[in-house]
Amino acid sequence: MIAPNGFEAVIGVETHVELMTASKMFCGCPVDFGQPPNATTCPVCLGLPGALPVPNREAIERILMIGAALNCQITPTSYFHRKNYFYPDLPKNYQISQYDVPVCHDGEISVDVDGETALIGITRVHMEEDTGKTLHVGGGGRIHEADYSLIDFNRSGVPLVEIVTEPDIRTAEQARAYGAELQRIVRTLGVSDARLEEGSMRFDANISIRPRGAEDLGTRTEVKNVNSLRSLQRAIDFEIQRQIELVSGGGTVVQETRHWNEESGSTTSMRSKEESEDYRYFQEPDLMPIEVSPEWRDAIVAGLPELPAARRARYGSLGVDGGVAAVLVATEELGAWFEAAMDGGGDPRLIGNWLSGEVVAWSRTEGTDLASAPLTGDHLVELATMVADGTLSASAAKKVLAGVLVGEGSPAEVAAARDLVQISDSSVIEREVDAVLAAHPDAVAGIRGGETKLIGFLVGQVMRATGGKADPKLVSKMIAAKTAG
C-alpha cells in the first residue's frame, strides 16, 4: 500500500536471528529447544557467580557469513560490550552484545516488489546472546495482570545475530519482501532455521512518516511482537495509517515502543522512549576483541553458497521468466525439483513454468504439502522429453503431471494409464482430418476464401474427435495443406 495524502513512510527493520550452532554462544550447553525447562543450562548461561563466557568460534564464523552475504564491510577488530538492564530472564542482568564497533557494517541487499527493485542498506550486523523466556501466569497471559511469572533459561545464551537496516524501506510490502529475502539468505547459508513462529527469527520495525519530498525524518515508533512476514506487513501498514491519521488530525507522533496485536490487527503503546533505559554500555572485560584478518574474511566470502539473488539470475540466464525464478527460489521444494531436473538436462523454461504454475496451483487447491508430493527431478525431465518428442501434447503433459503428483506413477505410466499419449501417426491423423473436412464444407470454403482463422476451428474439431491426443501442430499443418488453393 502506498501512503496516501502526500505522505511517505520511512521504515527500518531490526532482525534477530538465532544461530543453530551445536552449542550456545558462550558455554557448552546444547542449542536444543525440545528439552524440559532449564534442562540445558549451566553456570555460564545461568549467570552463576564466578562463571565466565567464552565465545563460540562457529558463531563468529556464521555471523561473518551473514555479513558477507549482505555485502557488508567486515570490521578488522570489533568488540563485545555489556548492555546493562535488569530483567528476570536476563541472568547476568546485562546482555553481552556489541555496541559502537559491530563485526559487520555498511552492507546492502536489493528486493523486488511488483517488478520494482529497491536497494536496502544494512547499517550493521552484530553478535549477541539471547535471553531466557518468561511465562506470565494468570491474568489471561497478559503481562500486566499476571499473578506471577515463570522463567526458563534454556534459550539463555543462544547465539543471536542482530541485523539493522538503514531507513531505506518505504512500504510495508518492501519490508515484507526484505524480511522474506533475509530469511532465504539465512536459510541458504544454513546458519539458522529462521522460523518466525518459533522465534528463531524476529522482526522489530521502526516507522515514521513525512510529507512526500521532505528531507527530515518524522518521529518514529518501534513496533515489536511481529511473528510472521504477513504480520510484519500488516503491522507496518497499520502503523503508517495510524500515524497519518494522527498527524492529519492535528496530532503528533510520540516516540515510543508499540506492541503488535495479531488478533486485533493493531498496535498499542508499551512505553515511551523518555523513560527508556540507560544501558551503560561498556566493553566486556571478560572477552577479548574479535580480529578478522583479510585471509579469514576472504575465506568466508569464498566459501559462501550461491545466494538467492545469484540463483534467480542464473535461472534467468537459462531462459526462465523472472517471476517464475522468484517463485522457484522462494520455495525450497520447487527449487530442489528444479535443480534436480536441470541436473538431468530438462528444459528450464517448460519445467520452471510447470513448477511455478501447475505444481503450486495443485498444492494450493488440494491443500497438500509440497514436501509430501512424490515428484522427482527425473519425472520432470521425462515429462519434458515426452513433450519435446511429441509423445505428449502440452495440455496432456499437464494432466500427466497431475497424475504424478497424486502418486499414480512415472510420467510414462500415467500417460499410458490415462491414455494420454499423443497420436503422431500421420495416417491416423489424416483419416480424422479428412472426416472433419468432409463434415464442414462451409468452413473449407471459407478458408479457401481467405478466412484462415477458420483453420483453428477445424483443428479444434479434430482434437475433439481424437480426445485431445492428436498432435495439434501436425493437424494444423495438414488442414492448411488440404485446404490450400
Partner 1 sequence: MPVQIDIAKVASLARIALSAEELHRYGEQLGAILEHAERVQQLPTEGIPPTAHPVPMTNTFRPDVVTGSLPIADVLAAAPDTEDGYFRVPPVLGES
Partner 2 sequence: MSDPADLTIRAAGDALRSGQLTSAELTEAVLERGRITEAHLHAFLTLDQEGAKEAAAAADAALAAGHDHGPLHGIPIALKDNICTKGVETTASSQILSGWVPPYNATVVDRLAAAGAVIVGKTNLDEFAMGSSTENSAYGPTRNPWDTDRVPGGSSGGSAAAVAVGSAMAALGSDTGGSIRQPAALCGVVGMKPTYGLVSRYGLIAFASSLDQIGPFARSVDDAATLLEAIAGHDICDATSIRRDVPPIRRSIDAGVHGLRIGLITELSGEAIDDEVMGAVNHTLAALADAGADVGEISVPSCEYGLSAYYLIAPAECSANLARFDGVRYGLRAAGDTTEEMMAATRAAGFGPEVTRRILLGTYALSAGYYDAFYGQAQRVRTLIRHQFAAAYEEYDVLVAPTSPTTAFPIGDKVDDPLAMYYTDVCTIPINLTGDPGISVPVGLDSRGLPIGFQVMAPALEEARLFQVAQAVEDLSQFQSRAALATSEVVAP
Question: Rounded to the nearest whole angstrom, what is the least distance from the CB of residue 86 to partner 2 in the complex?
Answer: 6
Instruction: Using the minimum distance from each CB to Zn ion, give the nearer residue, 41 or 243.
Output: 41
Residue 162 binding result from partner 2, Mg ion, partner 1, none, given CB thresholds of 5 to 8 Å by partner type: Mg ion
Residue 45 binding result from Mg ion, Zn ion, partner 2, none, given CB thresholds of 5 to 8 Å by partner type: Zn ion
C-alpha neighbours within 13 Å on the C-beta side of residue 74: 23
Instruction: Using the minimum distance from each CB to partner 1, give the nearer residue, 299 or 388.
Output: 299
Q: Residue 396: enclosing H or E segment and its boundaries?
A: helix 394-405
Question: Rounded to the nearest whole angstrom, what is the least distance from the CB of residue 225 to partner 1 in the complex?
Answer: 9
Cβ atoms of residues 381 and 418 within 8 Å: no
Binder among 150, 195, 282, 417 for partner 2 (CB under 8 A):
282
When asked if residue 144 is in the footprint of partner 1 (CB under 8 A), the reply is yes
Instruction: Using the minimum distance from each CB to Zn ion, give the nearer residue, 44 or 454.
Output: 44
Strand partners, 268: 259
Q: Give the x-and-dash track for 325-364 against partner 2 (CB under 8 A).
A: ----------------------------------------
Question: Rounded to the nearest whole angstrom, what is the least distance from the CB of residue 34 to partner 1 in the complex?
Answer: 14
When asked if residue 57 is in the footprint of partner 2 (CB under 8 A), the reply is no
Cβ atoms of residues 369 and 363 within 8 Å: yes
From CA 332, how far away is CA 190, in angstroms rounded? 13
When asked if residue 22 is in the footprint of partner 1 (CB under 8 A), the reply is yes
- Return the residues of window 72-101 that contact partner 1 according to CB under 8 A: 77, 79, 85-90, 93
Can you read off the three cell numbers belonging to residue 21? 550452532
The number of residues that bind partner 1 (CB under 8 A) is 59
From CA 110, how far away is CA 91, in angstroms rounded? 38
Residue 287 binding result from Mg ion, partner 1, Zn ion, none, given CB thresholds of 5 to 8 Å by partner type: partner 1
Binder among 11, 13, 17, 29 for Zn ion (CB under 5 A):
29
Can you read off the three cell numbers belonging to residue 8? 511517505
When asked if residue 217 is in the footprint of partner 2 (CB under 8 A), the reply is no
When asked if residue 39 is in the footprint of partner 1 (CB under 8 A), the reply is yes
From CA 454, how far away is CA 480, in angstroms rounded? 10
Q: What are the C-alpha distances in Å from 387 to residues 382, 392, 422?
A: 9, 5, 9
Question: Rounded to the nearest whole angstrom, what is the least distance from the CB of residue 194 to Mg ion in the complex?
Answer: 16
Residue 123 binding result from partner 2, Mg ion, partner 1, none, given CB thresholds of 5 to 8 Å by partner type: none
Strand partners, 163: 15, 125
Binder among 8, 14, 16, 30 for partner 1 (CB under 8 A):
30
Distant-in-sequence, close-in-space partners of 425: CB < 8 Å, separation ≥ 6 = none
When asked if residue 42 is in the footprint of Zn ion (CB under 5 A), the reply is yes
- Return the residues of window 143-162 that contact Mg ion according to CB under 5 A: 162
From CA 74, how far away is CA 142, in angstroms rounded? 42
Instruction: Using the minimum distance from each CB to Zn ion, give the nearer residue, 53 or 446.
Output: 53
Residue 251, Ramachandran bin (φ over 0: left; ψ between -120 and 50: alpha; else beta): beta
Instruction: Using the minimum distance from each CB to partner 1, give the nearer residue, 33 or 457.
Output: 33
Q: What are phi and psi of 110, to 5 degrees?
A: -110, 145
Q: What are phi and psi of 272, to 5 degrees?
A: -90, 155
When asked if residue 173 is in the footprint of Mg ion (CB under 5 A), the reply is no
Instruction: Using the minimum distance from each CB to Zn ion, give the nearer residue, 31 or 172.
Output: 31
Give the largest CA-CA distance in the chain: 100
From CA 198, how far away is CA 195, in angstroms rounded? 5
Residues 50-89 as b or e (16 or more Cβ within 10 Å = b) = ebebebbeebbbbbbbbbbbbbbebbeebbbbbbbeeeeb
- Judged by the rule CB under 5 A, the positions of this chain that interact with Mg ion are 162
Catalog residues that contact partner 1 under the rule CB under 8 A. Answer: 21-23, 27-30, 36-43, 46, 54-60, 77, 79, 85-90, 93, 131, 134-136, 139, 143-144, 146-153, 259, 270-271, 278, 280, 283, 285, 287-291
